[in-house]
């Protein structure tokens, strides 16, 4: 005879469901970003809590139409979840491209000690100023003005307020970010 648990007993017990119970309520946040009147593809949008504001950093990456969805990263146990904790946030935007040194050597070049050393340097990369090995990749090259990606007073983007609190999520919110790379200005609405 098969015994069934009473209806009041859950048929599943998921650690994942416990994780979501420990996360604060998150306000869904989507948006669009343009630069010089064109959709900005591949931009990293980061919201960092303003001074004296509770919250956690949230981020997202724009698609070819400039659309993005923000998610909050908690920790390894809680992971990442779509949405943002209500509060006031500094807006930062970056878009970079990693530059790879591409020097090819022939088998003849590699047969000498100098050629072997050059191959080693190219594959493993040189040491950076801080003594770290960059793995053969150079410093990332910024594809938009760097001022948009800093958290200090040099960033022309203003703060944005996300509705909700740590106890209750706000209604879904849309953010529009407009950058002007010539005048080094931007708006967040």
Give the model confidence (pLDDT) of 61-117 as tens digits. Answer: 999 999 999 999 888 788 889 999 999 999 999 998 865 555 555 555 545 555 555
Q: Is 30 exposed, middle or buried (0-12, 13-18, 19+ CB in 10 A)?
A: middle
pLDDT tens, residue by residue, 24-43:
899 999 999 999 999 999 99
- How far apart are the C-alpha atoms of 32 and 90, rounded to whole Å? 17
Q: How confident is the model at residue 9 (pLDDT cuts 50, 70, 90)?
A: very low
Query: What tens digit of pLDDT does each residue of 159-184 get?
Result: 999 999 878 999 999 999 999 999 88
Q: What is the pLDDT of residue 46?
A: 95
Residue 19 pLDDT exceeds 70: no
Q: Which has the higher per-residue pLDDT, 157 or 140?
A: 157
Mean pLDDT of the chain: 78
Query: What are the E-state strand segments in the chain?
Result: 29-35, 38-39, 44-49, 58-61, 67-69, 71-73, 80-82, 87-94, 96-100, 137-142, 160-162, 173-180, 185-188
């Amino acid at each position: 005879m098969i015994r069934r648990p009473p209806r009041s007993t859950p048929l599943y017990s998921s650690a994942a469901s416990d994780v979501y119970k420990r996360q604060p309520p998150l306000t869904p946040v989507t948006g669009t970003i343009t630069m010089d009147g064109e959709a900005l593809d591949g931009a990293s949008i980061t919201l960092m809590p303003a001074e004296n504001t509770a919250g956690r950093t949230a981020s997202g990456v724009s698609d070819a139409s400039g659309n993005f969805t923000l998610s909050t990263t908690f920790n390894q146990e809680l992971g990442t979840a779509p949405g943002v904790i209500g509060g006031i946030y500094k807006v930062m935007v970056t878009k970079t491209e990693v530059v790879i040194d591409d020097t090819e050597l022939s088998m003849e070049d590699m047969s000498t000690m100098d050629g072997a050393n050059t191959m080693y340097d190219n594959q493993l990369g040189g040491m950076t100023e801080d003594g770290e090995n960059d793995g053969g990749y150079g410093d990332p090259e910024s594809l938009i003005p760097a001022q948009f990606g800093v958290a200090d007073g040099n960033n022309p983007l203003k703060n944005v307020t996300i509705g909700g609190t740590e106890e209750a999520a706000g209604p879904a919110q849309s953010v529009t970010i407009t950058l002007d790379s010539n005048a080094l200005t931007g708006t967040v609405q």
